[in-house]
Chain A
Amino acid sequence: MNALSFHDVTRTLGGRRVLDGASGAAEQGTVIGLLGRNGEGQTTWFKVLRDLLAADSGTVEVLGLRPDGSGRIRQATGYIPERPTFHSFMSVAEVLALRASLFHKWDSSRAAALCERLGLDPATRLEGASKGTLGKLAWVCAAAHDPALFLLDEPTSGLDALVREEVLSGLVNELGEAGKTVLVTSHRMDELAGLLDEVWVMAGGRIVAVHALDGLRADACVIGGRLRSADAPPAVPGAIPLGGEGLVRSWAVLDRATRERLLGCGALESPSVEPLPLDRAFSHLLCLKGGELR
């Protein structure tokens, strides 16, 4: 069953088409990393998924619910914004009390346990609170009502190394193991690599590529070699040229089909294949637009 599905979603803001026919589906229990450069539509897409902004066209279904402006979707999902913001006149305990009165499934004992685990003192006043405190509180707020779907926008931003480790190896990992669906964006996707099932690439307001992480690990590689002829460098779709000198060239390849096409095209003399580290693979994915190179 899909926890999240959307088809041909468009949304225009200020005359610019920010979402341009985005389509995709996430199975329940999948942990998905969303890759995309700034301004590619992730923020708007998250707003559409949280039913804060209506799509101009297309269909969206989140946990079986259609966006209707009522807030049912927000009841059922947990969200961590990139820059968590809370009313500065409140304390941590007051923020949690407010949410307890608004979320039907709020579990106060779970909230207390999360506070303790993250080292968050409920008595802390939020005026002038550190980025780390706000980040921890955002985690508690997102998880205490035990949602089935988590939307995490830079969930480790502002957290110190220890807490980040706790969040990544502890919380996100547990969410995945508990069968929760997680959609996460991060500028440091490599540190999440061990937790992800899939990577989605968003560009130009669309999901342009979906890679299973196991496949990426197995197939992403750098293929290098000497060109047989300087006049005809191979033009294989999906192969990302990395440069080179003279006739010696190399390409980053992210999937098996591209790899076989490049190796099989006969343009290279004694090609070499080296595994591509995930962090570099993620960087190369960001260069894709519509499945092609930018």
Chain B
Amino acid sequence: MSIPLIRLELRKNRLAAASAAAAFLVTLPVCRLVSAATGLELKLSLDAALTAWVLLGVPLAAALVGAAAGASAASRDANECEALLPPSPGRRAFSSLAASVLLAAAFAAFVLATGAALGMPPSRFLSPGQKAWGASFWYGLELSPLLAIAALDVLAGAWTLSRLLGHGVAGGLLALAASALTGAAVAVCFGLQIEHHAWGASCLKTAFVLAAAGALAKVGAGVVAARGAERRTGAHGLAAVLALLLLPAAAIWGRAWTELRMLDARATPLEAEAVYRYQSFDGRYPRGSRALAAAGEGALLRTVRGGVLVADAAGVRALVPEQNSGLSELLLEPFKVWVHGSWRDEKGVLWIERYVSPNTELWRAEGPKAESRRMTDGGSISMIGGVPLKHRYPDAKRLLLAPVDEYFVRGDGAAWFEGYKTFLTRRRREAPAGLVACGGTCLEAGGRRWKLPGAALDPDPVYPDEAGGRRAYLVPVRTAKGEQVALCRADGTTAIAWPLHGSTYQGLPDGTLFSFGPGSTLWAVGPGGEVGEPLSYARLSLELAKPRSSRPAVMRRAEGKAWLVWGGKLTVLDAEGRTVLSRPLPDGIEETVPLKDGFVFTTRRSAWFSDWTGKLRRVENPR
């Protein structure tokens, strides 16, 4: 690229951008006319128009400037003028592409600045969660990157095709059609809640488009110079670019079609891990990890068509009844039903949040059944201090937060802050944090003091875990052997639990806590607080040809052995790391959750239970 060439390209293509800007400006008085004619509030009509311009107008304008620049780059006049110049055809082409990106960005900025001048800041359109639309799905959604990718995609496509065809209208329309095809596929995937499958392919499409633009720019001289003389080359190039643009869309549609056909059998994981974890006391994860383990029977949760299924040793059952979205609803109102997530609170109660337009429901499950509490005022929940807190945005500035029904208000006033502080203080009293004392060599909590086997690594409060059903503290310390984690047991004794390696440790249903150590080792603290010897799974790792960063899923750690699910097998290792049992498991394991008597796992179409000997039982189709 070259600055003078970019300036030249900006000048050449200013008409296209100016046309888009003029069309946008014409909209504003039209809004006034619409308001006058229909009685609609002017601000609402402007809001709608500006939203349409931001969400649709910007990509369309990008297509317009991309097509104009591409056609201009292919024109004989431009080539005859510019072929005399030193920059290579590739640099000229990249400058043309860069200039059209700048023009599209300038147009977007112009639309947003006009909105801001009319009292509607960019966040109103780009961060719809701030708009208090009520639909909690939108909370935190940032459209800027999506819009930028969409605009870049359609711009590069329009530029490439227009340059190949030498025709701006045809190139622009083809690019828009290709982008619409991909966009529709992404929307359907969103509706099916498999958007993660769509993002990769749509980003791949954008990458393809940019690569095609780059390749065309690089070989452009030959193609353009030879147009007419080597028309066949141009046709081959066009076919290749169209294939690049359409293949990802076809892949996404194929995926969506598969999902649609399997609608009845479809399930998506729902934070199964959350069953065994809750957030630390005030929502922070201090150094040394603190994903606290909650002892108790586990279960595997899945969302299915707006409901939640639970899979455990007893089978698969609905915890939250399904809320059906038919295919038409799926396409027309994809976010009508949306299960957001699940949390287990400090008492072991499972909370599930579901949005059912226009309300948010909060489901509470202590046993096999869940009951619903409907939050008719919208909002969402977070788990803070082991307690589910409802929150919602009544307007752009304020946040309402409630443990159950009582609201704390965050925003400009101090009311929320004070209330929230009070809440946290109360919570701390109920589950007291340990405080590092004696210059870092002691831990004090609940009137008890532990002498640490080293110096505490940080002065932050230490939040309690459970070991053997009793409160215990895990404190990162520095000892002569390096950084390790000290276990402070309820009986006042201390021990080194494991070396500080990575940042997390996990709990198992029997109360065992475990952590991975260096050199492919597994460390554990037993249910009674006893510290076991590390177990090496290095040999197994070698046998399965796993990369060093890969770790097994630990299902059980007892009797000096470890039950691991890894590489499609259940493997039991003895204390020496030797394999004492190896059982193949069905292909395509998706999730595993350890239970007391075995573990449950899912494949794409089934849920399975395995006992500790590897005896398998299909639990039920988790749909």
Residues on A lying within 8 angstroms of B by beta carbon are 13-14, 47, 50, 52-54, 69-72, 74-75, 79, 81, 83, 85-87, 89, 98-99, 101-103, 141
Say whether A87 contacts B230, CB under 8 Å.
no
Within 8 A of A (CB), among B76-134: 77-78, 80-81, 83-91
Cβ of B226 within 8 Å of any chain A Cβ, yes or no, is yes
Say whether B90 contacts A52, CB under 8 Å.
no
Q: Which of B11, B12, B80, B88 contacts A81 (CB 8 A)?
A: B80
A86-B81 contact given A52-B221, A71-B91, A98-B4, CB 8 Å threshold: yes
Can you list 28 A-B pairs with a CB-CB distance of less than 8 A? Answer: A13-B229, A13-B230, A14-B226, A47-B225, A50-B83, A52-B89, A53-B221, A53-B222, A53-B225, A54-B222, A69-B89, A69-B221, A70-B88, A71-B85, A71-B86, A71-B87, A71-B91, A72-B86, A74-B84, A74-B85, A74-B86, A81-B84, A83-B80, A87-B12, A98-B8, A102-B2, A102-B85, A141-B84
Q: How far is the CA of A50 from the CA of B81 in the complex (A)?
A: 14
A103-B86 contact given A13-B229, A98-B4, CB 8 Å threshold: yes
Q: How far is the CA of A87 from the CA of B8 in the complex (A)?
A: 10
Residue of A nearest to B229 (CB): A14
Within 8 A of A (CB), among B350-403: none
Number of chain B residues close to chain A: CB under 8 A: 27
Say whether B86 contacts A85, CB under 8 Å.
no
Contacts of A74 in B (CB 8 A): 84-86
Q: Which of B77, B87, B230 contacts A102 (CB 8 A)?
A: B87
The residue in B2, B81, B87, B222 that gathers the most chain A C-beta atoms within 10 A of its C-beta is B81
Interface residues of A: mostly helix, strand, loop or mixed? Answer: loop
Q: How far is the CA of A26 from the CA of B229 in the complex (A)?
A: 30
Q: How far is the CA of A38 from the CA of B431 in the complex (A)?
A: 95
Residue of A nearest to B230 (CB): A14
Residue of B nearest to A80 (CB): B84
Say whether B86 contacts A102, CB under 8 Å.
yes
Contacts of A83 in B (CB 8 A): 80
Q: How far is the CA of A259 from the CA of B4 in the complex (A)?
A: 58
Q: Please, what's the 1-or-0 string for B1-30, where 1 marks a CB less than 8 Å from any CB in chain A?
A: 011110010011000000000000000000
Q: How far is the CA of A75 from the CA of B230 in the complex (A)?
A: 28
* Nearest Cβ on chain A to B131's Cβ, whole angstroms: 43
Contacts of A54 in B (CB 8 A): 222
The residue in B86, B88, B228 that gathers the most chain A C-beta atoms within 10 A of its C-beta is B86
A13-B81 contact given A52-B89, A69-B88, A75-B86, CB 8 Å threshold: no
If A71-B85, A141-B84 are given as contacts, then 5 extra A-B residue pairs at C-beta distance below 8 Å, sorted by A number, are A52-B89, A81-B84, A99-B85, A102-B4, A103-B86
A85-B8 contact given A47-B225, A53-B221, A70-B88, CB 8 Å threshold: no
Please provide the 8 A-B residue pairs with the shortest distance between their CB atoms, ordered closest to farther: A14-B229, A101-B4, A71-B86, A85-B80, A75-B86, A74-B86, A13-B229, A71-B88
